Amino acid sequence: MNASTTVAATAADSGARATERFKSDKTIAATGTSQERVDLLAREVLDAVYGTIRKHKLTYAEYNAVKAWLIGVGQDGEWPLFLDVWVEHVVEQVNTEHRHGSKGTIEGPYYVPGAPEIGSSGSVPMRDNESGTPLVWTGQVTSTDGTALAGATIELWHADSDGLYSQFAPGLPEWNLRGIFTTDSEGRFDIHTMRPAPYQIPTDGACGKLIAAAGWHAWRPAHLHVKVSAPGHELLTAQLYFPGDQHNDDDIASAVKPELMLDPRPAADGGQTVAYGFVLDPA
């Protein structure tokens, strides 16, 4: 464990931070959505709920348990966690099915804008005693026609070797393992970071109660988060995974895709190197 991480992250604390981050960074209102569209979506979601109730003959005891659980999700601030873990992967699929470039996946609840800008080559901010396996990642960003995209940005964030994210767990520097890289004149980048660890989503809150009651597991495989953007191109949000992780095939967030799998190679210094680039679709 990293020496400076002395207190475990809790669902309530992580949930509250994720909720506040969502409020500050995302559009809450359905701006530009017509009344007819809202009516259609709301009615169909409710119809699906009604269908489940009728099909399985929900009892009042079960209804009250669900009601209490929904209240708990709100009290724990875990709606961003719940929606990002169990719903977002389908939203991502339908919103990117037209693309011909690189595959993407969910953003998750732990993105924070405004990370330090590094340039085309360098290290993400990290502690002097940051534990884990050093990882050097090189790649190129191109358009679907093969044109190199100079000045493209790669926003990177990921968990540490304890599975914790800065700004969502105590004891971590503000921008630990978060940085923004900008490609050079040939669209290339060179990132130095540490290989992240698999982790469980917080289980001491309402989401954890659902997991326990359903007999599920709470694990996410190790992954790197990225947002890749360039002028005149669609934003790509993705997570990159490592082969051999036992939860690549049963990720609780259903976010793993074969196209997002890395191929790490051993480096002379005991770390690892990986080559992986991105192809962006024109906007």
Per-residue pLDDT of the chain (283 residues; tens, 9 = 90+): 554 444 455 655 666 666 666 666 665 555 678 899 999 999 999 999 999 999 999 999 999 999 999 999 999 889 988 999 999 999 999 999 999 999 999 999 899 999 999 999 999 999 999 999 999 999 999 999 999 999 999 999 999 999 999 999 889 999 999 999 999 999 999 999 999 999 999 899 999 999 999 999 999 999 999 999 999 999 999 999 999 999 999 999 999 999 999 999 999 999 999 999 999 999 9
233 in a structural domain: yes
Inside any domain, residue 3: no
Neighbours of 59 (CB within 10 A): 9
Residue 2 lies in a domain: no
Three-state helix/strand/coil letters over 95-129: HHCCCCCCCCCCCCCCCCCCCCEEECEEECCCCCC
pLDDT value for 80: 87
Q: Would you state the pLDDT for residue 77?
A: 87
pLDDT of residue 92: 96
pLDDT of amino acid 10: 62
Closest CA to 262 of 218, 221, 230: 221
- CATH number of the domain residue 68 falls in: 2.60.130.10
Q: What number of other Cβ atoms are within 10 A of residue 71's Cβ? A: 11
Assess if residue 148 is contained within a domain: yes
Burial category of 231 from C-beta neighbours within 10 Å (exposed 0-12, middle 13-18, buried 19 and up):
exposed
- Contact criterion met (CB below 8 Å) for 191 and 163: no
pLDDT tens per residue across span 183-218: 999 999 999 999 999 999 989 999 999 999 999 999
The count of structural domains within the chain is: 1
In a domain, 112, yes or no: yes
Q: How far apart are CA 96 and CA 109, in angstroms?
A: 19
Instruction: Identify the pLDDT of residue 247.
Output: 96
> What is the model's pLDDT at position 28?
54
Token pair listed for 36: 């007819």
- The DSSP element (H or E) to which 91 belongs, if any, is helix 88-96
Q: Return the pLDDT at 7.
A: 46
Query: Is position 1 within any domain?
Result: no
Domain range for residue 268?
A: 10-24+31-283
Q: State the pLDDT at residue 217.
A: 95
194 located within any domain: yes
Residue 4 lies in a domain: no
Q: What is the pLDDT of residue 4?
A: 42
Q: What is the pLDDT of residue 163?
A: 94
Please give the single-letter amino acid code of residue 150: A
pLDDT given at position 5: 45
How many other C-beta atoms are found inside a 10 Å radius of the C-beta of residue 22? 18
**What are the pLDDT digits (tens) for 87-117?**
999 999 999 999 999 999 999 989 999 999 9
